[in-house]
Structure 1
């Protein structure tokens, strides 16, 4: 198909992909608000002059916070099945509804039990969001910008968290919930005109719809014939009787995809990020900082947003692997510095001259996590998992991530009481060193490669693009 003279801007236009991704990640922003809600909400519960009908105990506050992660690990597992049953688009629209319901429950809740139920429901939606949105973005993106579009997931999560921190610092309890409830409504309106993914439509035998979807994503004047041919070739190569999940793992590319996706989720959580984020104000206080706890929380959130923005512009140029290596190596150094500081402080040494060290180390740690281990594991899960097991394994990877988050945040205080602050941070540094080794020797670079080429590399073969012509 020849382009119309005088209209070259329409050829291979990436604008539709950016707009569709923006609409899709509004759901991710909504998920981020559920994560950010607990910090300002619990602060409101604890205020002495609070007129709220709810006054949770310390144990109940802990459950209000942790039930979100419990719900997320529950919601992640069946979301891949929903994506195959209803389609990626429809499944995303469905999970926005219970998210909205959870905010309505929080506004009208008169008991702690109802708030806990709302948090569990929100968590179930959050787990599904973490599975469905990266899958959708991967399947609509062309190879050259798949990294920047995939990184938008983490950017919108952290933006949603920081948004809720800011609102929570200046608005009333109910206004915090109202502001968050608006987001899934906006998503439902913005996303209704977006297409289903071409990959899903081809899997369902709806070729004409798949072609229309791909054309709308690439621009009206673009030539999609080669890309359609590539998608159909990949689908035909995997056609035939559907093999069991266990048998599918006998294939090297499938096995490696699962190892990489689960391994990166393990590395992400054992980097210690949720511990640092959830206990940021306590770390600042332990270091002798006089900053308001809410200000500390906002600083940490902003550091994540800035770092993810940096990653957004580097991931398709520098590559995924080098950013992960920089992230892991930097966190080893910064966590070691934190451990050394607390070793001196808890040992009775005068550390007044080093008061800025833990603050700088903490903010730098959050930023360097955000450059690599924040966005890339979510994005690469969709890249390395083959279509035939992607739905199951994406849910498994996300569920693993939230399970580890729950276990680590729940056990952090007891671990710290047992081995001390220094021992805790040094242990996390050691785990990050192992993560560096895993990234270096196991994870493959996916920058600029088609999903078919990635599968061939995982299978131990050289890519053969001539087969697609």
Structure 2
């Protein structure tokens, strides 16, 4: 990746970054983001592995050296979320200690190790260990990679680049679904183990973020990083000064975490970040995806379960691509509002369908309605509440507490994912299928209100402008009610 290497001859002789272009080159930023999100792609493969692999493990007629019970399979899936919870919380501190780039490179190790354990596993206990290890790496990836992308991206394309996190996660899931449709247990593990290696090769020469370098008082390296990301003719002076000013306002390393929390912008940023994680997981996305094949089957569809799974994954990828196109044009708030409102409608339709079905009504005439509701739900989730919560955590959190707070937000996300998945059966036993989907629909209505009255618009704004708005220093542009 020689593109990421900055030669001394490319720097201006006066060393002040003056005389260059005011607008940076976009291609280096796209390429660095692509390299970084190859690890996210690998993480998506980790998430998607259980769909094709668990039926193979539960099949007592297979030639595998061991088999799992449904309860063991449940824990194989759940331990990924537990591992992610463990890995997410300290990840922010790791990023502040080692740097964003080095931390991301280190995180390829647990994924590689987990695939090796899965390949050579001889018992369910070994799979438990593998999924826990993979989860630790995945939780940290979800914390640090969005932070890295937000800190390297130019304001005009930051939304698009940050959306690539969700896109590559969905692509990784779809990769495993597709490979798993025609491969053996060992072939799936072997194919997925190659992905972290590809990431290491692609990302090894990527630059550290200018924000982190300035926090470490390494201004010369920060200028080189900006030049690598924006092009050799880019005028770095204005952007460097803006970043330095914001870091100075936040007190840099002299400000303690508790002192930082006393600032208005920090409290509001944490509220937005944690609130969006609540809305994302409590929207019922994991439940809808998990039961998509069952819903298709109940509706009378003759499509194979494997094909249904691939269609769900493909819908996520396509809609995330649409989100990447719209996010820096339409803005974050409107996409969140459309996403929340549409999900509420789709979940209400599913609730109505199960209400009629569970009380014995003939639902053959509306058999395709739940299928359409599931597809539209997934499409609209991936346009708004899929990518934007991850992206906006990197945008709104102040630099001096971004590492710790991002870790808290991601830990909350995985905690809720575990709780929702594990309590779904209890909810359906007590509320019924219809009541459960109506409950999630109500939460989506709450998400609509939250995105309307609390979330601010960050489209086209620098990280400093976002902090100014959160602090009330730029009231004309504030969207907070």
2:35 maps to what in 1? 23
Q: How does 1:424-443 map to 2 (within 5 A)?
A: 424-443=436-455
Deviation at 1:143, TM superposition (A): 0.3
In structure 1, the gaps of 5 or more residues are none
In structure 2, the gaps of 5 or more residues are 1-17
Distance of 1:87 and 1:461 partners within structure 2: 30
Distance of 2:58 and 2:192 partners within structure 1: 21
Q: How does 1:78-227 map to 2 (within 5 A)?
A: 78-227=90-239
2:423 aligned residue (411, 433, 448): 411
Deviation at 1:238, TM superposition (A): 2.4
2:14 maps to what in 1? none
1:241 to 1:145, Cα distance in 2 relative to 1, 3 A: closer
Deviation at 1:435, TM superposition (A): 0.7
2:325 paired with 1:313: yes
RMSD: 1.5
1:449 maps to what in 2? 461
Distance of 2:113 and 2:282 partners within structure 1: 32
2:386 paired with 1:366: no
Compute the TM-score of the two structures, normalised by the length of structure 2: 0.93
Q: Deviations 1:254-299 (Å, cap 9, x if unpaired)?
A: 0000000000000000110011112222222333333222111111
2:88 paired with 1:76: yes
Q: Deviations 1:211-265 (Å, cap 9, x if unpaired)?
A: 0001110011111111111111112222367333333222110000000000000
1:46 maps to what in 2? 58
Runs (4 or more) in structure 1 with deviation over 4 Å come to none
2:3 maps to what in 1? none
Distance of 1:239 and 1:426 partners within structure 2: 46
Give the aligned length: 460
Distance of 2:460 and 2:355 partners within structure 1: 45
Q: How does 1:261-340 map to 2 (within 5 A)?
A: 261-340=273-352
2:48 paired with 1:36: yes
Asked if 2 retains the 8 angstrom alpha-carbon contact of 1:453 and 1:464, the reply is no
Distance of 2:278 and 2:288 partners within structure 1: 16
Distance of 2:476 and 2:303 partners within structure 1: 57
Asked if 2 retains the 8 angstrom alpha-carbon contact of 1:11 and 1:219, the reply is no
1:56 maps to what in 2? 68
Higher mean displacement: 275-284 or 59-68: 275-284
Question: Could you say what secondary structure the match of 1:170 adopts?
Answer: coil
Compute the TM-score of the two structures, normalised by the length of structure 1: 0.96
Asked if 2 retains the 8 angstrom alpha-carbon contact of 1:453 and 1:463, the reply is no
1:378 aligned residue (379, 390, 393): 390
Asked if 1 retains the 8 angstrom alpha-carbon contact of 2:273 and 2:409, the reply is yes
Higher mean displacement: 396-405 or 235-244: 235-244
Question: Could you say what secondary structure the match of 2:254 adopts?
Answer: coil
Asked if 1 retains the 8 angstrom alpha-carbon contact of 2:215 and 2:253, the reply is no
Deviation at 1:11, TM superposition (A): 6.0
Distance of 2:415 and 2:374 partners within structure 1: 24
Higher mean displacement: 274-283 or 394-403: 274-283
Deviation at 1:455, TM superposition (A): 0.7
Deviation at 1:163, TM superposition (A): 0.4
